[in-house]
Amino acid sequence: MSARKGLFTKVIVDNESLVATDISAQITETEGIPLQFDEIEVGGFNNQVKSYVSGRADAPVTLKGSWSATIHNMFKNAVGDDTHVKTVEFQYGNNAAPTTGDPKISGEYVTTAYKVTAELDGKQMFEVKLAIAAGQSLPAYGTVA
Domain ranges of the chain: 9-33+58-143
Is residue 69 classed as helix, strand or coil in its secondary structure? helix
| Chain segment 68-106, per-residue pLDDT in tens | 999 999 999 999 999 999 999 999 998 899 999 999 999
- Per-residue pLDDT at 4: 52
pLDDT at 1: 40
- DSSP letters for 83-110: T--EEEEEEE-SSSS--TT-EEEEEEEE
Q: 120 pLDDT band (50/70/90 cuts)?
A: confident
Residue 76 vs residue 3, higher pLDDT? 76
CATH number belonging to the domain at 9-33+58-143, selected among 2.40.10, 1.10.287, 3.40.50, 2.30.110 = 2.40.10
Could you tell me the pLDDT band of residue 66, with boundaries at 50, 70 and 90?
A: very high
Whether 30 and 2 have beta carbons less than 8 Å apart is answered as yes
Check residues 86 and 44 and name the one with the higher pLDDT: 86
pLDDT above 80: residue 49: yes
